[in-house]
Amino acid sequence: MAVNPMNLSPLRENMMQVAECLPLSELTNLVQDLLSVQARRQAPVLPRGEAELLQQINQGLSFEQQMRYAQLIEKRLAETLTPAEHQELLQLNQLVEQLNVTRIKSMISLAQLRQITLPQLITELGIAEPQYVA
């Protein structure tokens, strides 16, 4: 066995020797696998309950719904809503309100779980003040 100038542990030294013998495609796959292992170890792991609450807190309208909601609000401000569009806007408003209720309840639950105040949680999560449309 060659002298170990880098003073690697025996296991790591063996791994390096094996890596040296691998074809480039296999070496690339190995590196990707090792990076995945590293990412899993570095990623913060949240308890399941917290993860579910955070998912509910971040739940919102789909992109398409957001775009349509914005269009309908613009039409309402311009006073060009049709009766059908007005109904659609009311339905989207109700959906937004339901999402907001779920969001607030989840935020309260998460704050209690973490034993902090709601304002502390809002700051910790970087939640911005809501923007209201006239």
Q: What is the mean pLDDT of each run of 10 residues along the chain (134 residues)?
A: 62 89 88 83 81 92 93 96 97 95 96 95 86 64
Question: How distant is the alpha carbon of residue 103 from its chain centre?
Answer: 15
What pLDDT is attached to residue 129? 75
Where in the sequence is the domain holding 67, given as residue range(s)? Answer: 48-125
What pLDDT is attached to residue 108? 96
Q: Are residues 31 and 68 in the same domain?
A: no
What pLDDT is attached to residue 6? 60
Q: Are residues 34 and 53 in the same domain?
A: no
Q: Are residues 55 and 121 in the same domain?
A: yes
What pLDDT is attached to residue 1? 45
pTM of the predicted structure, to 2 decimals: 0.61
Q: Which residues contact 88 (CB under 8 A, 6 or more apart)?
A: 68, 72
H/E element holding 133? none
